[in-house]
Homo-oligomer: A and B are copies of this chain.
Amino acid sequence: MKGRHFISTQDFSPEELERLLARAREFKIDGVRERPLAGKSVALVFLNPSLRTRTTMELAVTALGGTPVTMNVGTDSWTLEHRDGAVMNAGKTEHVKDAARVLSRVVDAIGVRAFAGLENLEEDIADPVISAFVRHAEVPILNLESAMYHPMQAMADAMTIVERCGKAKGVKVALTWAPHPKALPTAVANSFLLAATRLGAEVTVAAPSEFPLPETVMQMAAGNAGSVRLTTRPDDALAGAQVVCAKSWGSLVCYGRPEVEAKVRKSYDHWIFDEAKLAQTADAFFLHCLPVRRNVEVADAVLDSSAIYDEAENRLHVQKAILSELLA
C-alpha cells in the first residue's frame, strides 16, 4: 500500500482493509516496537475543528517516530482556494495547488480535514478540497474527514466490530439516522456504510425519507461484499441487529435551503436513540463517532454503556496501521 492516498476505504480491497485491521490489532496489543516514521513528517491540515483526529494523528505520528506539523487553515495559515484556474481576487489567499506542492516538498504525507459546505450537493459530492489536494500533491494525502468520507473513523468502527463480534462478515448492523440541532454532512455515515459492507457486514440504514444517503454511496455499498438495505422504520433496522451505529446528517432533499431543512429535521426529534430503541436489537453494542449531542442524538443511558470509547481509542491504532503501511 506504500505511497497510496487514503481517501476512501473503497480505494482498498477487502484484503487490504483486513491487513490494516490486523496491523492495528498488533499495535493495540503489542504497542509500537519500532520507529518506522523516523526522519519523516506529516502535515495535518485542518479546515474544521477536531478533537479525536487531531490528538490521535499527532500521537500516532509521534509514536511511530515521525514529526507531526499541525495547522488550522485560515487562522494559523492562509485561507485556501481549490478551484483550478480561479482568478483569486476575492477572499481566498492561497491556492491548494501551491499549498499542496509546497508541503509535498517538506513533509512525507499530508492529512486534510475539509467538511462539506452543505450549500451545493453536487459540489460536495465531488469532494472538492481533498480532491484538489490529491490532484496537486506529490505525497500521499490522508483523509481526516472530507465532504464525503471519513475513512479513519470507519476503520476504527470496523476494528471495534471485529473486536466484539470476532469478524465483520455477516454481522448484522443497523446504521440509524439521529436528530441534531444542526444539519451535518453525510461523510461519517457514508464511510461507515462503505467500510462495513466492504468487509462483508449486512447493514440496514434507517432514516426518514427526506434523509437518504448519496445515491453514489448507496450504489458503491451495494457492490461490496456485504449487503445494504434501506428503511424508514427504525424498528425494521434494529430487529436482529448485533451492532447499532447512530449518526445525524442533513437532508439531501432540501440541501442548501437551511430554513426548510431545519423544519423537516425538527419533525424527527423522536428519532433520538434511547434505551427503548436499543432494547429492540439482538443485544447490540452501540457506536457513535463523537462528538455527540447527548440527549438530543442519543440518550445518556445508551452512551454510558456503549462501545464509544473503545471506538475512539481504536482511531489511534488504525491510524498507526495506515501510517506505517502507507508511509514506512
Contacts and interface: CB of A to CB of B under 8 A. Distances in A.
B293 A88 contact: yes
Nearest to A312: B102
A44 to B, nearest CB: 11
A111 to B, nearest CB: 13
A43 interface: yes
Contacts of A85: 295, 300
A103 B55 contact: yes
Contacts of A181: 88-90
Interface string A77-97: 110010001111110011101
A57 B282 CA distance: 48
A62 interface: yes
Interface stretch (A45-53, A199-207, A254-262): A45-53
A145 interface: no
A290 interface: yes
B75 A72 contact: yes
Contacts of A293: 88-89, 93
B77 A50 contact: yes
A291 B98 contact: yes
A87 B51 contact: no
A106 B59 contact: yes
A309 interface: yes
A308 to B, nearest CB: 7
Interface in A73-128: 74-78, 81, 85-90, 93-95, 97-99, 101-107
10 contacts: A49-B77, A51-B99, A54-B71, A54-B76, A55-B103, A59-B67, A72-B76, A87-B296, A95-B291, A104-B309
